[in-house]
Homo-oligomer: A and B are copies of this chain.
Amino acid sequence: MSESESLPIPAGLRVGAVRAGIKPSGGLDLAVFIADRECAAAGTFTTNRVAAAPVQWCRSLLPTDHIRAVVVNAGNANAATGEQGLANARKMAEVVAGKIGCDATQVLVASTGVIGRQLPMDKVEAGIIDAIRQSEPTEAAFHTASQAIMTTDTRPKVVSRTVKLSNGDETSIVGLAKGAAMIGPNMATMLGFLFTDAKIGPGQLHGILTQAVEDSFNCISVEGHMSTNDTVLLLALGNTLATVKGDDLAPFARAVREVCLELSRKIVDDGEGTTHTITIDVEGCTDRAEARKIAEAVAHSPLVKTAISGADPNWGRIVSAAGYAGIPFAEEELSLWVNGFPLYQNGMPLPFEEAVVSAAIRDQRETHFRLLFTRGDASIRFWTTDLTAEYVRLNADYTT
């Protein structure tokens, strides 16, 4: 969404973002989100065994209905930083808590940036105090915060949805994210923060967020390298009159899912050094886990990704990537379409005009694979990018 569109910031949410001096560039690098009351909150996190200190901090607190604030910094991931790192994550929460009048355990923390270095806590603490002082309940502040969480992203990512409830009220969800950009000297951490004015319990919030993330942030892959810091948080401020329950739960969950999906798409689209976004539909599997394994094998194959960057309709690479996903399918169970062209049917290649399919890949940024199996009814939609020489050049630069 552009900044000109109206953003439904939940009543009671104040946002502040500053240049704390953590990023060497001197750019915006610290943001706070402060609720005027205790919020229901849920989170999903990286499953990487090397989990950053702020991830460990948040995991120990969620889900709960006592959260008052979120503090985020970019420029330093506070990962692989040991006891000192955990103390620093807690300190960030304490500084916020001291200023807004709550307990440190009511403040969530997220970090992104270089790993293996301790946070410059003097700058972080001064930045937090400054950000709280400047915080405002405005769209402009929210947009500024969406820039402060960026690392290698080329543009901020903000999405919202409004849901009509059965009693005639409305509730909104607004989200911001920073992405798994492909370039960058360090890992591509994904952070997402969603805020809603809805009144809803933390247990339900957790279920809704988990399912939404499973369908969105967990279905994107740029280079298949999971970060130490991946975090998605959802805070419900509860400033609406009616509680979301009963028949209103499904549309609310759908709206959360849509916000997550659109943020995910923005992350994939922002892969610098890429020339194609690839949507992979795997259908007709026995269950979703099976479809996911096949989609991931295709999405992570450098041979598939380089073929698309070269507009090469090399269906053999796609079919064979599916073949090593660890799913015991028979060749006859698989058919493949690329950008709508049928290339492979029930285990046999189909004749096709190679120049025509190549042009269809070359001439648009969107590429679509459909892998249709005859094994069942389960499916998944997965997104990835192509792999370009520019990506390698950007990632190979000596930067440490």
Q: Which residues of A contact B (CB under 8 A)?
A: 46-51, 79-82, 114-117, 185-188, 223-228, 300-304, 306-307, 309-317, 319-324, 327-331, 334, 344, 347-349, 354, 358, 387-393, 395-400
A82 to B354, CA, bound (A): 21
**Contact (Cβ within 8 A) B331 A80:** yes
Question: Across the two chains, which residue of chain B brings its CB closest to A343?
Answer: B116
Are A303 and B48 closer than 8 Å at their CB atoms?
no
Specify which chain B residues have a CB less than 8 angstroms from the CB of A334 in the assembled complex. Answer: 50
Besides A187-B317, A225-B324, 19 more A-B contacts (Cβ < 8 Å) are A46-B324, A49-B327, A49-B328, A49-B329, A50-B322, A80-B319, A81-B348, A82-B348, A186-B317, A188-B303, A225-B302, A225-B320, A228-B316, A228-B323, A300-B300, A302-B395, A306-B391, A311-B398, A389-B393
Complex: chain B residue closest to A327, CB-CB = B49
For the complex formed, measure the closest distance between the CB of A311 and the CB atoms of chain B, giving whole angstroms.
6
Q: Tell which of B116, B302, B304 touches A316, judged by Cβ atoms closer than 8 Å.
A: B116
B358 touches A316 (CB 8 A): no
In the assembly, what is the distance between CA of A312 and CA of B51, in Å?
22
Count of this chain's copies in the oligomeric assembly: 2
Partner of A224, one of B46, B302, B327: B302
Whether A323 contacts B49 by the Cβ 8 Å rule is yes
Residues on the B chain within 8 Å of A315, using CB: 116
- A301-B223, A321-B225 are contacts. A392–B316 as well, Cβ < 8 Å? no
Q: Which residues of B contact A395 (CB under 8 A)?
A: 302-303, 306-307, 310
Given contacts A224-B301, A309-B392, A47 and B348 within 8 Å (CB-CB):
no
A344 to B311: give the CA distance in the assembly, Å. 41
Contact, CB under 8 Å: B50 / A319 = yes
On chain B, the residues within 8 Å of A186 by CB distance are 314, 316-317
Q: Assess whether B115 is in contact with A396, with CB atoms less than 8 Å apart.
A: no
Query: Which B residue's beta carbon lies closest to that of A312?
Result: B398
Task: Enumerate chain B residues within 8 angstroms of A321, measured Cβ to Cβ.
Answer: 225
The chain B residue sitting closest to A352, CB to CB, is: B400
Given contacts A313-B400, A316-B79, contact A225 B387 (CB under 8 A): no
Give A185 to B307 CA distance when docked, in angstroms: 9
The 7 closest A-B pairs by CB, nearest first: A310-B396, A50-B323, A116-B349, A306-B395, A226-B324, A48-B323, A389-B389
- Collect the chain B residues with CB atoms within 8 Å of residue A400's CB: 312-314, 354, 358
Which residue from chain B places its CB closest to the CB of A395 in the assembled complex? B306
User: Contact: B358 with A398, CB < 8 Å?
Assistant: yes
Cβ contact of A223, chosen from B303, B312, B399, cutoff 8 A = B303
Q: Is the CB of A310 within 8 A of B397?
A: yes
